Structure 1
C-alpha cells in the first residue's frame, strides 16, 4: 500500500507541474471569451502564447498526464471552483499522509531487518563454535579415517582378486561335482554329463593359451588334471555306448550326442560302430530267416511263394531292400550329430557290413531257384518242341518248360534291378557283389537255355500244316520271344541291350529254319506259310523298341517282300489264265508294236484273239470286278494278314488293268478288223475299270 501511495504522490506532482492554480483560473476566465481573429493576429504577449500553448496541448498523447488525471479522479470527484482552489492543498496533504505511511512501513522493515541481523549473528557464533568442535573431533579421529580408507582399498583389491580367482577357476579347473560325475562308476549319461565333458575340452583349450603366457608349470598341472578327468569320462561314455548297442533296438536321442565325443578317438569310435554293426547284423539275419517261415502282420511267410521262382526271389529281395532301408535310417541316426566324418560314406559302409549277414542264405536260395529252373527245362525241352505226339500231362509239362527261359530272364532282371537299388543304400559291398554274381549266373543260364531251346526247336521244325498257319514249334518260339520282349519292356537300359541279343538269338536261326522246313511243299503253299510266320514274327519283334529292333524288322520285311512278290506272280498268272487273257497277251503286245502304238495286224483272224474269246474275257472280267476274292488261289485264302491279301489283289488288278488298256487301244485303233464296234464290244473304258478296281 505504501508503494501504491508513493505512485499516487508522483502522479499528483506531475499534475501540479502541468496545471497551476493561476493557469487554471486564467483558463476559466478565457473559456467564455470568443476569440477574434483580427485581435489574435495583433496581440502577441507571453500570457497569450502560454494560454494558446495550454489550449493546443493534447493530453491523450501525454501518457504521464493521462496517468496523473486518472489518479486525480480518485480524490477529485467534482470540478468546481472551490475544489480547484483546494486542490493544491489537498494534494500536499495527501502527499504528507503518504510519506508518513511510507516512513511507518519502512520502520517496520528496519526492525525486521535488525531482528534478522541478530539471528544471523547468533547463528554465526554457533557455527564458529561447531567449527571448533569439528576441528577438535577431526584431529581426534584422523587415524580412524585413515584406517577406514586403507581397509576400503584393501577390500577392493581382495574383491578383484576374488573375481580373478573365480574366473581362473571357471576357465582352468573342473568343478568337484563335474569330476565326480565323470569319474562315477555308473554315470548318468545326459546333458549334465555332456556339459562336463565340454568343460574339460574348454579347459584344455584355455590351457594352451596359458602355456603361451609363460605359466608352464601351472598350465601343465591343469592340463594333466583335465586330461585325466576327460579320459575317465570318455571311457565311461564308451562303455555306455557298448551297452546301449547290445541292449537297445533303437537309437535314442542320447546316443548320437554321445557319438560326437568319440570323434576325436577314432579307435573307440570304430569299436562302437563295429559293435552296433555286429548287433544289427545278427538282428537282420534272424529277422530274414524268421520272415521266410513265419507269418508277420505285414506279409505271409516268403517260403509260401517258393513254387513261383520270380515271386519267391522278388519277395526275398523286396523284404531285404525294406530292411536295409530301415538299417540305413538307424545308422544315419547314429551318425546324425557327427561333424567330422563323411556321413553318407560311413552310413553306406556300415549298412553294407550289416547286409553281409544275409548273403549266404540269400545266395543259397536264389541259386537253388536258378538251378532248379534250368534242370526242369532241360528235362522236357526235347519233347516240347519237336512236334512229337504227347499226352496232356506231357504237353502241360512242355509248356511249363518253355517258360523257364522267361523265368530265368525275369529273375536276371529282378537281380539287376535290386542290385542297382541296394547299391544306392550300401554302396559297393558284399551283398551287391553277391547280387551281381547271381545276376550274371542267371543271365548266363538263360542264354544257354534259350540257345538250346531255339536250336532244338529250329532243328525239329515240322513241315507246314494243311492250314499253312505257323507250326507248333514256331508258335512256341514266338511265344517265348514275346514273353521275353514283354519282360524286357519293364527292365533297365542295360537289360534292353540283353533283349537285343535275345532277339538276334531267336530271329536269325528261326528265319533260316523256316526256309528249310518248306522243302517238298509247293511254292505257293510254302510262300503263304512263310508269310504267315513272318507276319507273326514281325508283330512280336515290333513290341520291343531298341536300337537293334529296326535292323531285325527290316530283315523280316525283306523276307516277307520276297515271298509276297513270288505269290503275286502266281496269282497274276492264275487270274489271267482263268479270265482267258493269258493266250492273247503275246498278240496284244505284237499289235501294240512293243511301244504302245497299234500295228497293222488283223487280230480277229488269230484263233486266240477271236471275237468270241474276247467277248468271253470281257464277261469274265465283269465277274472278276464284282467278286475279286473268288479268283484268289486257294492257298492265299489261308493267309493270316489281310494286308498281304489286299496287296496281292491290288497288284493283280493293276496288271489286269494294264493289259485291258492295251487291248482297248488295239480295238479302238482298228474298229473294222473283224470285231464289233468298240462302243458295243468294250462298254467300259480303262478309266471306268480303274474306278471299279478302286486303284
Structure 2
C-alpha cells in the first residue's frame, strides 16, 4: 500500500506540470513539496509511525481517502481531547473531595493534640517515676544476675563440700570434678584481689585454700589405704589410684610422703616374699610358695646364688612394670603437677631446684624400685658373702664374681648406673674376685717344693696341668658372662685373670727349666708352652699365641741345635767337624788312617737307625710334629756338615794325587777309608 501511495503521489505533480495553462508559481510550490517528500528518509521514526498507522487503518490510496484522511484525523484528535477534558473533570472532583477530607483531618488532629497535651501534663510526673523505677529494676536484675553468677562460680554447695572433704564419701569422679572446680575458684579468686574491694577476694581465697587442703588430706589418706591393699601383680591396676597420684603430685610434700609409705610397705612385702622363696614358708597360708625353696640348692653354691639373683631380677622386672603403670603411664602429667605444686609451695623447693629438673619419671621410678628392693638386697648380700667366705675355691669364687657381674650388666639397663642395686652387687663381685686372687696366691705360695725338681718324663708338671684345667673353667665362665662384643674390651677384661691364674705357674715352669740340662730343659719348656698355647687358643680373648710362639721358637731352635750335636756325637763326626777346617788338617790321616777308619765305621753303624734313635732322643717331646720338624732340621744341618767334611776329604786326595810320582798302588787314599757320600747320607736320613 505504501509503495502504491508514493508511486501515485509522485506521478501526479508531473502530470500537472505537463498540463497546459497551469500557473508557474503553483508548479514551483508543488515541486518543493515533492522534493521535500522525496528527501525524507524512510528510516525516520515519525514517518515509520505514520506509515504504520496508515497500515492499521487499512486505507486505500484514492482521492476520496486522501480528502477524508485529514478530516478523520482532526475529528479523532478532537474526540481525544474531549475525553481528556472529561477525565480531568473527574480528577478535579476527586481533588475537591480529598481537600475536604484533609481539612477535616486537620481539624481532628488539632482537637486530638489538645487532648494529648492535656494528658501529657497530667501523666508526665507518673512517667518519670515509672522510668526511674524501671531503671532501678534493671539495676537490681543485673545485680541479681551477677550474684547468681558469682554464687554459681565461687560458692560450693554443702553437698559438694561434703563430697570433697568428708572421709565418709568415696574418692570418685565426682570428687575430682569438685576438686577441679575448687582449684578453679582458688585461681580465679586472685582476680578479685585486683578489684576495688579486696575483702571478698581474700575471704574466697582463704576459704578455697582451706577446702583444697582438706581435700588433699582426704586424698592423701585414701591413697595410703589403697596402697595397703594394692596388688601390683594384678595387671588391671585401678585407674583411680593413678589419677589420684597425679592429682596429689600438686602437693609435693604429701606426694613424697605417699611414696615413702609405699616404698616402706613394698620393701616389707618383697622382703617377706624373698624369705619365703628362700625357705619355702609362705607368708600367707592361703597363698603357698610355688616351686622349691632356694635354700634346698645351698649345697651347690653357684646355683644357690644364681637362684637368688634370678629371683631378685624377676622381682625387679615385675616391680618396675607395675610401677610404670602407676607413675609413668600418665606421661609427664606428674611432672606438670609437681611443678604446679612447687609454685604453690615454694618452701618445698630445693636450693638447686632452679637448675635441677623438677621430676624425672624414669629416675624416680628407678629410685623407688631400689627402695622397694632394699630388704631383698640386704638378705642377698648377707647370704652371698657367707657363700664366698665359706668356700676357698678359686674357680667357684671366679664363677660367682662373673655371675654377679653378669647380673650387674642386666640391672644397669633396668635401674640405671647409679642404683643401689648395683652399689650392692658390685662390691659382692669385687669380694668374690678378692677371694679368687687370695686363693690363687695361696696356691702359688704352696708350690715352692713342686718347682724345685722337674718331672722325670719332662711332661708339664701337675701344678701346670691343674692350672690349665682351672683356666679352661675360668675362660668358659668369662665367655658366658661377659655381655660386651668388643674384642679389645674382652681381651683387656681377661688379662688380669691370666696374670693371676697362669703367669705364676709359667714362672714356676721356668724355674724348673733353669735347673734342667740340655736338651731336657728345652723339651720340658716346649711341653709346657705348647700345652699352655693349646689351652689359651680355644678362646680368642685369652689367646697368647704370638707371645708364646716367640718363646716356643727360641726353645725349638735350641732343641734343634742340641739334636744336631747329638747327630754329630753319635755318628762320630764331632771330631772331624770341629777339627777339620782345611785339607791340610787331614795330612796325619794319610800316615795313620785308623782314626778316620774308626769314624767311618761308627758312621756306618749309626746311619741305619739314626732316625729311630733321634726319635727316641726326642721321645719325651709330646708334640710329634714338632719333634719331626726338629729332627729334619738337625739332619739337614748334619748332612751339610758331612758334605763339608766330604769335600775336604776329596780335596785332600786331589792334592796328594798331584804330589805323588810313580806307582800309586801302595798309597793310602782317604776316600777309600771314608767312602760315604752326601747323597747316601741324605737317603739314609730321609
TM-score normalised per structure 1: 0.72
Residues 474/210 of structure 1: CA separation in 2 closer, same or farther (3 Å cut): same
1:491 aligns with 2:482: yes
- Equivalent residue of 1:459, what SS? coil
The aligned residue for residue 314 of structure 2 is 322
User: Is the CA contact 2:319–2:369 (under 8 Å) kept in the aligned structure 1?
Assistant: yes
* Structure 1 residue corresponding to 2:269, chosen from 269, 277, 283: 283
Residues 110/274 of structure 1: CA separation in 2 closer, same or farther (3 Å cut): same
The aligned residue for residue 418 of structure 1 is 407
The aligned residue for residue 232 of structure 1 is 214
1:67 aligns with 2:49: yes
- Equivalent residue of 1:534, what SS? helix
Residues 106/362 of structure 1: CA separation in 2 closer, same or farther (3 Å cut): same
The aligned residue for residue 334 of structure 2 is 338
1:50 aligns with 2:67: no
Deviation by residue 1:579-638 (Cα, 9 ceiling, x = unmatched):
7765553576424xxxxxxx99889959599899999989999x99xxx96574324355
Deviation by residue 1:464-518 (Cα, 9 ceiling, x = unmatched):
6676443443321111122223323333799977743332233333234324556
- Equivalent residue of 1:633, what SS? helix
Provide the C-alpha distance between the structure 2 equivalents of 1:619 and 1:125, rounded to a whole number of angstroms: 180
* Structure 1 residue corresponding to 2:465, chosen from 462, 465, 475: 475
Deviation by residue 1:155-182 (Cα, 9 ceiling, x = unmatched):
3322332343345445654443332223
Provide the C-alpha distance between the structure 1 equivalents of 2:10 and 2:405, rounded to a whole number of angstroms: 148
The aligned residue for residue 30 of structure 1 is 14
Provide the C-alpha distance between the structure 1 equivalents of 2:37 and 2:646, rounded to a whole number of angstroms: 161
Residues 129/216 of structure 1: CA separation in 2 closer, same or farther (3 Å cut): closer
The aligned residue for residue 540 of structure 1 is 535
1:531 aligns with 2:542: no
Provide the C-alpha distance between the structure 2 equivalents of 1:364 and 1:96, rounded to a whole number of angstroms: 143
Provide the C-alpha distance between the structure 2 equivalents of 1:327 and 1:491, rounded to a whole number of angstroms: 26
- Equivalent residue of 2:373, what SS? helix
The aligned residue for residue 223 of structure 2 is 241
The aligned residue for residue 357 of structure 1 is 375
Residues 641/421 of structure 1: CA separation in 2 closer, same or farther (3 Å cut): same
Deviation by residue 1:1-41 (Cα, 9 ceiling, x = unmatched):
xxxxxxxxxxxxxxxxx99xxx9989515148789xxxxxx
The aligned residue for residue 181 of structure 1 is 163
1:571 aligns with 2:563: yes
Deviation by residue 1:37-73 (Cα, 9 ceiling, x = unmatched):
xxxxx99983475266247424425432332233233
Deviation at 1:243, TM superposition (A): 1.2
* Structure 2 residue corresponding to 1:192, chosen from 174, 179, 185: 174
CA RMSD of aligned residues (A): 5.0
Unaligned runs of 5+ in 1: 1-17, 36-41, 375-403, 592-598
Deviation by residue 1:168-212 (Cα, 9 ceiling, x = unmatched):
445654443332223313122133323434444444444555455
Q: Which moved more, 1:171-180 or 1:242-251?
A: 171-180
- Equivalent residue of 1:86, what SS? helix
Deviation by residue 1:77-130 (Cα, 9 ceiling, x = unmatched):
221233233333333333333434444455555556566666666666666666
The aligned residue for residue 311 of structure 1 is 303
Residues 629/308 of structure 1: CA separation in 2 closer, same or farther (3 Å cut): farther
Deviation at 1:436, TM superposition (A): 4.0
Residues 97/605 of structure 1: CA separation in 2 closer, same or farther (3 Å cut): farther
Residues 582/298 of structure 1: CA separation in 2 closer, same or farther (3 Å cut): farther
The aligned residue for residue 294 of structure 2 is 302
Deviation at 1:567, TM superposition (A): 1.3
Residues 267/51 of structure 1: CA separation in 2 closer, same or farther (3 Å cut): closer
Residues 32/648 of structure 1: CA separation in 2 closer, same or farther (3 Å cut): farther
Residues 182/583 of structure 1: CA separation in 2 closer, same or farther (3 Å cut): same
User: Is the CA contact 2:370–2:421 (under 8 Å) kept in the aligned structure 1?
Assistant: yes
User: Is the CA contact 1:415–1:438 (under 8 Å) kept in the aligned structure 2?
Assistant: yes
Instruction: For 1:642-657, list aligned pairs within 5 A.
Output: 644-645=626-627, 647-649=629-631, 651-652=633-634, 655-656=637-638
The aligned residue for residue 405 of structure 1 is 394
Q: Which moved more, 1:93-102 or 1:518-527?
A: 518-527
- Equivalent residue of 2:391, what SS? helix
- Equivalent residue of 1:639, what SS? coil
1:509 aligns with 2:500: no
Provide the C-alpha distance between the structure 1 equivalents of 2:369 and 2:117, rounded to a whole number of angstroms: 93
User: Is the CA contact 1:351–1:426 (under 8 Å) kept in the aligned structure 2?
Assistant: no
1:78 aligns with 2:60: yes
Provide the C-alpha distance between the structure 1 equivalents of 2:206 and 2:334, rounded to a whole number of angstroms: 27
Deviation at 1:286, TM superposition (A): 1.8
Instruction: For 1:408-447, list aligned pairs within 5 A.
Output: 408-419=397-408, 421-422=410-411, 425=415, 432-447=422-437
Deviation at 1:531, TM superposition (A): 0.9
- Equivalent residue of 1:484, what SS? helix
Deviation at 1:240, TM superposition (A): 1.4
User: Is the CA contact 2:586–2:649 (under 8 Å) kept in the aligned structure 1?
Assistant: no
Deviation at 1:672, TM superposition (A): 5.4
Residues 129/511 of structure 1: CA separation in 2 closer, same or farther (3 Å cut): same
Residues 217/427 of structure 1: CA separation in 2 closer, same or farther (3 Å cut): farther
Provide the C-alpha distance between the structure 2 equivalents of 1:520 and 1:105, rounded to a whole number of angstroms: 166
Provide the C-alpha distance between the structure 1 equivalents of 2:514 and 2:45, rounded to a whole number of angstroms: 158
Work out the number of aligned pairs and report it. 619
Residues 588/52 of structure 1: CA separation in 2 closer, same or farther (3 Å cut): farther
Instruction: For 1:160-171, list aligned pairs within 5 A.
Output: 160-169=142-151
Deviation at 1:288, TM superposition (A): 0.9
User: Is the CA contact 2:563–2:614 (under 8 Å) kept in the aligned structure 1?
Assistant: yes
Q: Which moved more, 1:499-508 or 1:168-177?
A: 168-177
Residues 213/54 of structure 1: CA separation in 2 closer, same or farther (3 Å cut): closer
- Equivalent residue of 1:189, what SS? coil
Deviation by residue 1:418-467 (Cα, 9 ceiling, x = unmatched):
34654662876766554344333322222222223334356336966676
Provide the C-alpha distance between the structure 1 equivalents of 2:273 and 2:18, rounded to a whole number of angstroms: 149
User: Is the CA contact 2:13–2:30 (under 8 Å) kept in the aligned structure 1?
Assistant: no
Q: Which moved more, 1:282-291 or 1:82-91?
A: 82-91
Instruction: For 1:69-148, list aligned pairs within 5 A.
Output: 69-75=51-57, 77-107=59-89, 141-143=123-125, 145-148=127-130
Residues 602/77 of structure 1: CA separation in 2 closer, same or farther (3 Å cut): farther
Deviation by residue 1:237-293 (Cα, 9 ceiling, x = unmatched):
222122112222246333344345555655544433332122111210121122234
Provide the C-alpha distance between the structure 2 equivalents of 1:230 and 1:55, rounded to a whole number of angstroms: 112
User: Is the CA contact 2:324–2:365 (under 8 Å) kept in the aligned structure 1?
Assistant: yes
Provide the C-alpha distance between the structure 1 equivalents of 2:322 and 2:617, rounded to a whole number of angstroms: 71
